[in-house]
Structure 1
Amino acid sequence: MHELDQRDPQHEVARSRQRTTRLARYQLDVVGAHVADVVDSAGGWLFDRVMAGWDVRVAVADARDLAALRILGVQPIALRAMFDGPDIPTAFALAGAMCGEDDRVRDVLAASVRSARTEVTVWGDVWLPSVGRRGSAVRHQLSAAATVFKAQATIAAGLGSTVGPFEAFRSYGQCVRTEYPDLLPVG
């Protein structure tokens, strides 16, 4: 008991702060050509990430009707806003076609892949010769809820309601380590 009386209270507060886990939310920034492409190619994965507690922001070049994105629970933002902020996302995903459409997208993708600090996921065809590799094939198996919400989002985007069990991507750089990994290697 005498030992407890001699402890420095400031030292104890400092130690307790070191043990406190930081409750930071992961952020996924997504860039697509249009809403239908995002929903069709990555809608289930985006929904599952939102349900896992991620902040998911989606910017599309053609942002006419964003209802389908709202069904998935993502936050639609303007394309210019994606590149204006100081925040570096935990993860960055995009339609490969956007690399040829917007220099900012290609530059952010190349910088993210080179830095290896950001999880980079691409759907569609893209290869960055400056990086020197095509990335690894990965896929996401949709949860039951993601299948239902993606079906509703595909209807809202004018695509019909057929939803497959998987979505396929190419992964560059590091993958975010979570208790339940959602992007698994193909093969």
Structure 2
Amino acid sequence: MRYRLDVVAPNVDDAVRAAGGWMFDRVMAGWDVRVMVAEGGDFRPLRIIGAEIADLETELVRGPAGTHPNALAVAAELYGRDGRIREGVRQALEHGGTEVTLWGDFWPSELDRSVGSVQHRLTVAARAFKAQALTAAGIADEPGWAETFRSAALCCPIVADLVPA
């Protein structure tokens, strides 16, 4: 059995900028990483970091397929504007076996008590692959040494790659 990380993002650029290094490191650790984006576009940057691509709308219509991902990462912006995504996050939190992580400037007040700030320190390989993915996306940013998230899995993360910030 392989671990699975599902990432929900508004677009490819946001997914790569916010979590590209973390996704790459999880792929290299043997995880299946699936990215669902609200807007289409060039998926090459996600392929560079080893992620599979899925259409967000199709996945939301289909609903849960019986198996929960081991980890779920969501852009807080999408959490704030789509009730189906909020419900999916709520179900994942209730399930208890899913590491739930969010990123972004908007922060849902109903989650303030259940989450804390965490960082993933990128490996050298993750920085290199994220840099290539950013270039493919036309983003001039340089990847930093860490990516910061808010996570509800501070007490028992699945793997030790997310540490309190």
- Return the TM-score normalized by structure 1: 0.80
Partner of 1:171: 151
> What is the CA distance between 1:114 and its match in structure 2?
3.1
User: Does structure 1 residue 185 correspond to structure 2 residue 157?
Assistant: no
Structure 2 residues not aligned, in runs of 5+: none
Distance 2:51 2:92 in 1: 22
Q: Which has the larger radius of gyration?
A: 1
- Return the TM-score normalized by structure 2: 0.90
> What is the CA distance between 1:81 and its match in structure 2?
4.1
Partner of 1:65: 42
Match of 1:126 among 88, 91, 107: 107
- Secondary structure, in 3 states, of the residue corresponding to 1:62? coil
CA contact (8 A) 2:7 2:72 kept: yes
Distance 2:92 2:118 in 1: 18
Partner of 1:37: 14
Residue type at the aligned position of 1:177? I
> What is the CA distance between 1:134 and its match in structure 2?
5.2
> What is the CA distance between 1:110 and its match in structure 2?
1.7
1:29-178 matched pairs, under 5 angstroms: 29-83=6-60, 84=62, 85-124=65-104, 125-129=106-110, 131=111, 133=113, 135-173=115-153, 175-178=156-159
Task: State the aligned residue count.
Answer: 160
Compute the RMSD of aligned alpha carbons. Answer: 1.6
Structure 1 residues not aligned, in runs of 5+: 1-23
> What is the CA distance between 1:108 and its match in structure 2?
0.6
Residue type at the aligned position of 1:53? G
